[in-house]
């Protein structure tokens, strides 16, 4: 059960207004003439993300996931091969269980690993950006001269 919504340029004003309401601090409810139901925070965050993406001209796909994944499903979610995932599991990077002879991985653990990896990579990129590198614009011939090694 997967559903993709394509952005519609005629809806831009409506999407902006909807995003403002959803992102606000007040309780949001869905109402019919017969009843009103408050929107849970998890659904609200999902809708904010979906509406923001649509407002930016991106398509949105909502696809349910089981909360317990096979190693193949977890690997596909992370965009890696199953053997690479198994190495991560065996190294203790992602918790897993083995009911029987097959490994099972909790979706929450896979998503937490993905979040940690993104944060780690961002930190590495940030450190690389702050390393001192000579400005090649200072070199007239396209080469940067470095002091000779005294040793």
Mean pLDDT of 39-60: 92
pLDDT at residue 147 greater than cutoff 70: no
Mean predicted lDDT score pLDDT of the chain: 87
Contact 55, 12 (CB under 8 A): yes
* Secondary structure of residue 110 in the 3-state scheme: helix
- pLDDT tens for 116-131 read 999 999 998 888 888 7
Beta bridge partners, 5, equal 60
Dihedral sign for Cα atoms in the order 139, 140, 143, 145: negative
Beta bridge partners, 61, equal 4
Q: What percent of the chain has pLDDT over 90?
A: 58
Which is more confident, 34 or 134? 34
Length of the chain: 151
Burial call 9-40: b when 16+ CB within 10 Å, e when fewer: eeeeeebeebbeebeeeeeeeeeeeeeeeeee
Where in the chain are the domains?
3-29+38-62, 68-130
Task: Determine which helix (DSSP H) or strand (DSSP E) holds 14, and give its type and residue range.
Answer: helix 12-23
pTM exceeds 0.95 for this model: no
């Amino acid at each position: 059960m997967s559903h993709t919504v394509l952005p519609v340029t005629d809806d831009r004003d409506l999407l902006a207004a909807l995003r403002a309401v959803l992102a606000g601090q007040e309780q949001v409810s869905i109402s019919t003439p017969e009843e009103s139901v408050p929107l849970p925070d998890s659904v609200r965050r999902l809708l904010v993300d979906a509406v923001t993406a649509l407002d930016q001209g991106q398509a949105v796909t909502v696809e349910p996931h089981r909360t317990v994944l096979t190693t193949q499903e977890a690997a596909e979610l992370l965009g890696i091969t199953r053997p690479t995932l198994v190495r991560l599991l065996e190294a203790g990077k992602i918790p897993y269980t083995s009911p029987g002879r097959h490994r099972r991985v909790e979706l929450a653990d896979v998503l937490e690993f993905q979040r940690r990896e993104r944060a780690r990579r961002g930190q590495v990129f940030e450190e690389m950006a702050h390393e001192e590198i000579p400005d090649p614009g200072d070199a007239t011939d396209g080469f940067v001269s470095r002091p000779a090694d005294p040793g």
